Structure 1
Amino acid sequence: MTFANFTRLSQELRDQIWAEAAAIQSQHIVDSQPEPCTTPHAERQRQALVGYDNLPDSTERQYLRLYIHASGQTDELRLGENEFQTLVNRLPMATACSEARANAIKFHRAQTKFVNLFRVVEDQLPDGNPILEPVFTDMTTVMVTTSRFHPEDGPEGFDSPDQLVDVIARVFGSGVKKILWNAWCQSGFAMSDIYWPHTPQLGQPDDDEFSKIDRSGHSETTHFMSHDHVLHIEPELYKTEIPDGESYYDLRLMHRHTLKVSELLGAAAKLLPLLQHVEVELRTYCWGKIRMSHLETTYKDNRIWIVKHNLNTAFFHAFSRVY
């Protein structure tokens, strides 16, 4: 079929042909690569081509990265390597025409769903295009990776939740609905090291003052934090979350992480008005091992709902530094 005849086909049929071509070309690339790939960059590309939903449960997901270079003196942002664009360019059809490229992007977007934002702060910015408008406007989920003192795992963090929100809005637009906070840290870190310095809204009061938790019970089937930063506990659910052999666990950790989530949601009110979900994935280096902490929250009806967590067995981090 000539290209002239192809353009006479209905848009629906052309899209079906492009989708099939994208799947075939993608599978051909996957089949030509080792599993897993020998370099992190190649493995991220391979996993995105396969599709994260199609990977074995035992495989650690390694998401495509979007590198952003930030100035240490100004608010300028420049675009670094965009691994999603690299992925699209690997399909031969992406260079055929604008319609083919649009369908290649559509295929990969369905496979990847989101990218991992790596913001690197530098005194002198490298060459790159200034970010004057969002790089992505249709991604509603954003992963942000930070790692203090471990540059091999990720870049340094942010100075405030407002700075984080500003960067996300400038890079992804105002339609973001979910933020995945992916942080690497050390055992001695406090909440201000894991996230950002505490805002005036929270201040830095005595740790015990933040431990005031309402255990009076309520009619909801999950825990939540109210607008006054009180953590409301559902008693029956609380009992099921206690590890076997224990009589209780310290609720302060859930309270501390949720307080930092509340700072982020407060900062996002204007620039990210659709933000409803914040998920925390924390990796703590301790005695040669990595301890995982996980928290999923949803903001609704002026409350932060605790959807899922493992904070009853997670590594215990203080709210403020004690040294």
Structure 2
Amino acid sequence: MKKIFSIFVITLLIVSCTGNDKFVMRTSIGKVNKVMVVTKSSDWTGDVGKEIRNAFGELMVGLPQPEPILSVSQVAPNGFGSMMKVGRNILVIGESDKESFSVKHNVYAKPQTIVYIYAKDDAGMVKMFQKHKKEIIDIFIESDIKMTQSVFENTKLDDSKFKTLQNLGVSFTIHDKFRTVEDTGEFLWLRHHLTSGIAKTGSNNILIYSVPLEDETTVADSIVSVRNRIGKKYIPGSDPETMHMITEEAYTPHTFKTKVDGKNAFETRGKWEVKNDFMAGPFVNYTVVDKKNNRLVIFEGFTYAPSVNKRAFLFELEAIGRSMKIK
């Protein structure tokens, strides 16, 4: 019986790797926010590699420790074999008689995003990358967000169990490790206790609520005051009389226009702290303009994980926030 099973497994593996109509797409591998760059070693150590590392290595806004937007690794074209081709995010950059920029999905594995850049020489490659670098970064981040959301979908919390989500008419793809701290019908606070490594004393937190839409032109300017008001009302410190969550006063948050559920929205990244205490960390806030219901729907994720890097924790919250659907 064991021999039969072994033969079956080997046959299945062989068939899955062939190029005929029985081909089975392999599952991609790779850490979130990491890109493998396929280019010659001489290009990687020269101007081409420098430009890529500078762009991807730009520091993420709002984190207390310096962390890059994307981490990168490099492999030469002759080393880009079967094992490397299952990477999830890949940038291929090299020389060609014709300049080109293209994006393909699920070429060697699934899910997978590969960006191709070709130019006649190093100077051309640098120029092409500079032209498309923001688009490239957005492509890889969006790819990771969709992948993360698809993973969370498998263990998604039931929206109908939360009074606030039902009353607000909103839904999110939130994985089932989050537990309810408070659910008033108007305000929802969920918490995921982190259990790995030194971060096991920390937590990821989600806040969901809405406020009236008064003047759309002043929404961006009001985000900090709104979150401070909510923090004072709902997020106390160890002494509720004197301590509550506020926006860190020494750091000005960064606010960007974006789209969530096809609606105009603002993404704000910054640092939170507990007034009169030593607790602090990063947050990401999505304030969505819901004109139909004359309100702002607000999702905020904040992380408390002392002494460790927080990019991955905050990215998880970003993926959840961007899954918002308004009925």
* TM-score between the two structures when normalised by the length of structure 1: 0.31
Of Structure 1 and Structure 2, the greater strand share is in: 2
